[in-house]
Structure 1
Amino acid sequence: MAPAATTSTQDGGTPSMLNLTSNLMMKFKPAKIFKNAVEPTPPPSPGPHSSRAQNNGPRHITGISFDDRGDQLITASEDETFRLYSCKSGKQLKVLYSKKYGVDLPRFTHKNTTILHASTKEDDTIRYHSLHDNKYLQYFKGHKDKVISMEVSPVDDGFMSGSMDKTVRLWDLRSPYCRGLLNLPSSPVVAYDASGLVFAVAVNHYSRILLYDQANFDKAPFLAITLEDPTLALITYPPRIPFMTSLAFSSNGKYLLVGCSGNAHYILDAFEGHLIAKLEGHTGLERRKMSNQPPGIEPVRGCSGEEVSWTPDSKFVLSGSLDGKIYIWDVQNLPVPQGPVDLKAPPMRLKPMSALEGHPGPSRCVKFNPRLAMMCSAGAELAFWLPDQSGEPDEIAKELLKKKAAASG
């Protein structure tokens, strides 16, 4: 697998992709597919309990994370392994096991040799792990139920976690003790903005997204946004309420991408709370039948939540789908909200500009590399995507030639 082209930086020092355009985005194709990225589901054990529900179909990767430099990728899967990959060589570097506790929500810290991860069984402790020597460096205890959302601060050693115990906890890698606690009416989803000064908490119980000042998290949120989509009443009445599974700020902090388990994701104005756009065209992952769970009801953690994300320049949104395709929306020309927030005003309805063929089954995790022109998708398999450079015009080659010419004077 040839190394992907590197990114440039904008005036603020923020990484920006190599001039991502609609034409280039539609050229992405799987350059490397790891068909054995997850151990197969074992056969049912014989005996009196063999009739107990088994997982339906193959095991899946449920979480992925790039390091800050975009050199490495970590995955976590239902086989209780986490695996390290090189983004430049396209090779698997390590397979590590967490059979006792399970592993979910892998997150690189600002060192590419250490990660955080949540547990799926035994207890609800967050673990700080050294990939270099395969040892745990710290345990973060406090949650009383499964951690379903976790993000690392973009600027320091802080991180936060949301749990089914209806709390958000704020932590620092240097201390095992929780430094902040928010009690909420239902299980929360969390996200930092790019500055690390603001964080958002989605609460499905009220269809609200609460924005907090990091320095004054113990005070009331400075903005409460209601996610209400009036177009849903055109489908069913009473309308079905969207179930939020992920949050992500755009790189400039102006927008919030709200990932949902159903057939739509949303973009909100992060300053005042206007509902700007509804992203349609994919098939929501909630329809994937889980063990002991009929399709179409509130999803369990891992079914949905990591399948939708921005490109680093926030020009495009990527999403996985139940059909395995990767859907891409061009969000460069969003309408500018006017006047006070009107919950009855319909959002712009955006169809995907492209649907890329990739997986034989659900594409459950999709992320773009923060510094290289590549993306990753995962489900029962793992795929590294690069733009196909065989066509004309070859935009990556042209950009590199421009840089070489400028450097040579």
Structure 2
Amino acid sequence: MAPNPSTSNGNPTPPSLSLNNQIMTKLKPAKIFKNAIDPGPPPQASGNQQQKTPPPPRSITGITFDDRGDQVVTAGEDETFRVYNCKTGKLTKTLYSKKYGVDLPRFTHKNSAIIYASTKEDDTIRYHSLHDNKYLQYFRGHKGKVVSLEVSPIDDGFMSGSLDKTVRLWDLRTPTCRGLLSLPCPPIVAYDSTGMVFAVAVGAFARILLYDQANFDKSPFLAVELNDPTLAQISYPPRPIFVTHMSFSADGKYLLLGCSGNAHYILDAFEGQMIAKLEGHIGLERRSLAVPELIEPAKGISGEEVSWTPDSKYVLGGSLDGRIFIWDVQNLQNRSDHDRKFPPMKVQATTILDGHPGPARCVKFNPRFAMMCTAGTELAFWLPDPAGESEETAKDLLKKKGVA
């Protein structure tokens, strides 16, 4: 029997909980786990000098909720994945993958099992039981690091995108891949909420390809060229749009493109029109605030810092300075043929929340409860504060920071 219909992240269809601006502005960290990741070895002395150079801090690189929203699993650069109870706010289990590393954790439709990508030794995807800490299956075939991994919202299928420039389609019940797409560059993948359509982002060529799941071996039924005319106003030639994440809205109408730069985009999922440009945050391609010219447009530090709320009314996003941005996207309008030649509508955050130290690398909302999870060098559980004082508006906070 197939699981209940769910979103493109494998989460169930949004419940009756209705989010609104009042709830979103009152989100505050209810629990902060400062030891959510092992800080690593102590600093080593450099050269003949006695001064010790601290290594870059380790970060959590991926988070995933189970379908019921009861648990969240984090994966980090310390080669551990940790299981937290969302209701009690407690760490329940720490598991290790020291030999292979761990990245891109994804709950299957069982709340006791996840799949994840390796970061060293090989490029195998591993199916892991959280209950007894055993591997259930190995999925071999990729010849490069897996950089995108998504579970089908309707069955036991999943797909992966790799640095070997392929997309592979899998089934949890068999170790052999059931489909293969070869592309001109490393791809990012996403399922729509029905599981019948999936999207592939071909970053270096600024293209989004949409495929029919039942006919994936055929040509894509829609190919979208990403074009933002406003980028030419900033520099020439305009900077490329480098997609690090994709996810469909729960109703399947929109496709969110998370990008490594200072903007994310929302496309119409049926015709591929670029509808909205989400701005205000500092893109995670900038690896250091102190060295602004250090820019790496690649999916090393970013990829999970932007996501939908379960009802698709809001987009959540992290920032290099640790702030959390919330964009209200309830009033998006499709563009007519006449309007397509104009730039996408610029959308500023309606709420900006002070986050935690360092980049907010992962931001996701619980699929069933009014709870947000953010992660970087620390892990935070956010809940609406019922005490009364609402969070500062985006405009107030920008003034306070000296930005506006």
Normalised TM-score (structure 1): 0.88
1:118 alignment counterpart: 117
1:399 alignment counterpart: none
Q: Distance in 1 between matches of 2:349 and 2:249?
A: 18
Q: Does 1:21 align with 2:10?
A: no
1:81 alignment counterpart: 80
Q: How many residues align?
A: 373
**What is the one-letter code of the residue matched to 1:318?**
L
CA contact (8 A) 1:328 1:352 kept: yes
1:310 to 308, 311, 317: 308
1:345 alignment counterpart: 342
CA displacement 1:104-141 (0-9 Å, x = unmatched):
00000000000001000000000000000000000000
Q: Per-residue deviation at 1:277?
A: 0.3
**What is the one-letter code of the residue matched to 2:59?**
H
**What is the one-letter code of the residue matched to 2:84?**
Y
Q: Per-residue deviation at 1:237?
A: 1.2
Q: Per-residue deviation at 1:56?
A: 4.7
Distance 1:392 1:99, change over 3 A: closer
1:373 alignment counterpart: 370
1:218 alignment counterpart: 217
Structure 1: gaps spanning 5 or more residues:
1-12, 394-409
Distance 1:340 1:159, change over 3 A: farther
2:358 alignment counterpart: 361
Q: Distance in 2 between matches of 1:93 and 1:282?
A: 33
Q: Distance in 2 between matches of 1:244 and 1:87?
A: 30
**Aligned-partner SS, 1:23:** helix
Q: Distance in 2 between matches of 1:332 and 1:173?
A: 36
Q: Per-residue deviation at 1:298?
A: 2.4
Distance 1:22 1:47, change over 3 A: closer
2:381 to 381, 384, 398: 384
CA contact (8 A) 1:324 1:359 kept: yes
Q: Per-residue deviation at 1:58?
A: 1.2
Q: Per-residue deviation at 1:242?
A: 1.3
**Aligned-partner SS, 2:159:** strand
**What is the one-letter code of the residue matched to 2:311?**
D
**Aligned-partner SS, 1:16:** coil
1:10 alignment counterpart: none
**What is the one-letter code of the residue matched to 1:234?**
Q
Q: Per-residue deviation at 1:288?
A: 1.2
Q: Distance in 1 between matches of 2:204 and 2:54?
A: 28
**What is the one-letter code of the residue matched to 1:387?**
P
CA contact (8 A) 1:274 1:341 kept: no
| TM alignment of 1:92-131, pairs within 5 A | 92-131=91-130
Q: Does 1:172 align with 2:171?
A: yes
**Aligned-partner SS, 1:287:** coil
| TM alignment of 1:252-331, pairs within 5 A | 252-289=251-288, 295-301=294-300, 303-331=301-329
2:137 alignment counterpart: 138
CA displacement 1:181-203 (0-9 Å, x = unmatched):
00000000000000000000000
**What is the one-letter code of the residue matched to 2:179?**
G
Q: Distance in 1 between matches of 2:162 and 2:299?
A: 12
2:402 alignment counterpart: none
1:8 alignment counterpart: none
2:157 alignment counterpart: 158
CA contact (8 A) 2:14 2:250 kept: no
Q: Distance in 1 between matches of 2:77 and 2:320?
A: 18
Q: Distance in 1 between matches of 2:144 and 2:368?
A: 35
CA contact (8 A) 2:318 2:359 kept: yes
Q: Distance in 2 between matches of 1:392 and 1:35?
A: 25
Q: Distance in 2 between matches of 1:45 and 1:100?
A: 24
Normalised TM-score (structure 2): 0.89
| TM alignment of 1:46-85, pairs within 5 A | 56-85=55-84
**What is the one-letter code of the residue matched to 2:366?**
N
Structure 2: gaps spanning 5 or more residues:
1-11, 391-404
Q: Distance in 2 between matches of 1:278 and 1:288?
A: 22
* Stretch of structure 1 that moved more, 280-289 or 179-188: 280-289
Cα RMSD for the two superposed structures = 2.1
CA displacement 1:314-372 (0-9 Å, x = unmatched):
00000000010100000001122212784x42000001001101211110000000011
CA displacement 1:233-255 (0-9 Å, x = unmatched):
11111110111000000001000
**Aligned-partner SS, 2:319:** coil
1:404 alignment counterpart: none
Q: Per-residue deviation at 1:376?
A: 0.1
Distance 1:73 1:159, change over 3 A: same
**Aligned-partner SS, 1:205:** helix
* Percent identity over paired residues: 70
CA contact (8 A) 1:273 1:341 kept: no
2:330 to 313, 328, 332: 332
Q: Per-residue deviation at 1:16?
A: 3.3
Q: Distance in 1 between matches of 2:54 and 2:199?
A: 33
**Aligned-partner SS, 2:22:** helix
CA contact (8 A) 1:287 1:296 kept: yes
CA contact (8 A) 2:261 2:297 kept: no
CA contact (8 A) 1:127 1:140 kept: yes
Distance 1:116 1:32, change over 3 A: same
**Aligned-partner SS, 2:205:** coil
